[in-house]
Structure 1
């Protein structure tokens, strides 16, 4: 069965257009609820959201869907995605739902689903829910068996406690001045509170959500405001989260950006020295820089690569027994502490290392020089350009040219009709020439 609704990270789209409507959200609640009505116990779902305006609409529609098939609902309000995963497991719920479009603008929204173990649903579960959505006509509960909805008020405190528990008791952040950018998103209350409670001096930005400003010139995809504040305030470091706080980008005291590859290098090598790293390496996607692979190799550690998407990173981590993984874009998955990406937990690991080493962030967080890397997108109208013989030949020629000196990654986007062409290598001029040559042929074929 071909996926119609679920992408690489749940269901996502423009609200009140296409399938991202209140009616669809109610149908998802009915289908997902019916799928998880297993056993004779009283069934429960935990629902959280970020701060975008459409969250109210989607939340109410999901409540209607879940309760109509007999599932009780626990509402936790604006909370990070990893908090919903945590609460789903700790409350012994059958299902968790996060209403968020992550780093997208406020006009978009999405639905992420977690199983009772706090992990994102398997492909099999998603396909079965899709089948129920296509089928329609849900089995509604009898009048006396309709579910109830309840809002809990201490969810933020529970998550903050869990986040702080990811650090040893003796680690304090006293003396650190931190700029925290919460993207006007889900972590606008919990992240600054967690850092402050551990002793840091916190300068918080992106913490005044109004429903329309989530990710608007703030957060992990727009770090310019944080860079300026870090330098102007003389802060030791800047921490930028995205709309649902499952990804992290860091800025050092000089205002330089530190991406997910450098963060993985730091945490992976630090945990290896402490004897905490499992699996003998780190899991990342094909987009992570060759410099990371070389750095880890120099530490006697392996870099395992997966397809793009944190769900694939997590799948490889679980299969191979790894406990550190992530993406260059900032998703950090530390399975000792969380079942999904958690920007706040990852930030605390970085801050703990800053305290232990007593070095400035600019020295601590730049462990390797990234090799030149270039990514370009080619839009196409239809068909499968990568199946064309001319495209295949130019890709094969480029791979031969880069062999031993770099890498080539060509893939169709999972969310829009574009082909992504990425190359990296020691020679920046060669990398650019290779990418341009491939893009030109793809564009000609796709015209």
Structure 2
């Protein structure tokens, strides 16, 4: 990559944002201007290894050639029709995504939050039309410490006060139980339950991985109770954990899977609800929609993403490099790291609070040329592109070791 030319420096651009951008984010003080693969450059030409990958939106790295080519080809032909008309890219995308995930039907949307909202509407409609729940009484059971998005309905069942405070009144119809607790889940499910909605791995909470058997238990419990199992794989899916979907680690097939982030290849927002025909079949014309959902550009890029995953190469790569990540973090336990959780190329790393907050550690890593992101307290998340090399990953771990050794 050659250094871009900008009329303003990073500091000037950061200051310029202050009066004109809503302050709903607190980004690290780096201004990215160019990127390729696992690397980004700021406006001054400084290079950084991206160990966050857009919260898994960039599973295939920045500007993956196959994805960029697919987007360029489609930009020269057709970008949007709305769903008022058919387009020549949508059927192929839906067919291949359904096959990849082992499901029957696809509801294309745009953002992850839209996929979750659509999943909620779908579960409720199914409960009324199929299960026979009385009108307006359907409930959905969710897990504490979840992160499913930022809409008013979704934050209604968040337990994060920063996400909730000041945004009420909240949408009713949700029951919150502890994550990784089958007994509590079973106690919360009754004849009004439309679905159990969970993340197979809780990303925002710090990459929390449930006990072996938990997901299989959720599947069996929902089957017995006659309700849906809806898995939010927006961060965990599409290769991140070493499998196409995180639920595959327990051989589980949910009724509905929510996808997003990596489905758009880091190029356009693409999300989808995929599920059994008996579930998605409850929707009829006029009951749900999206102007941009399933647009030709999104379908072209999404199809190219599916093509990358159909080979299994990225899943195998995430599993193999995940061992490098796990072993490297294990070597740091007791040397600044007090604990970690990892699956594939995804880890939540708990740093000794005496060494600083997760934000402080992320800022120190940035100065070493590594981009990562904190979550709660002194926990940082690592989720590099699946295209990262073993040497690059080892170098990032060495930088983390250096930062921790330097102390607070």
Taking structure 1 as the reference length, the TM-score comes to 0.27
- Name the structure where strand makes up a greater proportion of residues: 1
Which structure has the higher relative contact order (CA within 8 Å, separation 6+)?
2
Give the greater-gyration-radius structure (CA).
1
